Amino acid sequence: MFGLFKEIIEDWKDYDIVEKAYWSVIGLLFSIGFLAFSWWYWVGMFNATDNFFIAFGVGFILYLVLGTIIALVTAPLMTLLSLSAATITGAIIGLVKFYRQARI
């Protein structure tokens, strides 16, 4: 996912406004989901343990494992959301191009 965002940033100047809006919304949703999961996890970890080092030592390993599991489980859903958003964006771009040709 981060590699995809790197490619998008490199090609950002070539995108039109609809593509920029699409990738901005996808990036925002990705960031919100990542921060929400992180906050939920670390608050729970600190509430469950009294030891700061256990919370970070064991917690970090569990965080990586849970993060991987959640990423694998939600990957089909994210793919579906991304494809549907891309379809809607493509339809809007097609309608705008059709409208511009009809006006000429």
Token pair for residue 18?
Answer: 């609809």
| pLDDT tens-place string over residues 50-94 | 777 877 887 788 878 877 787 777 777 777 777 787 788 778 878
| pLDDT tens-place string over residues 20-35 | 777 788 778 888 888 8
pTM for this entry: 0.46
Give the Cα separation of 31 and 35 in Å (integer).
6
pLDDT at site 53: 80
Domain locations in the chain as residue ranges: 2-103
Judge contact between 49 and 55, C-beta under 8 A.
yes
Please provide the size of the chain in residues: 104
pLDDT at site 79: 74
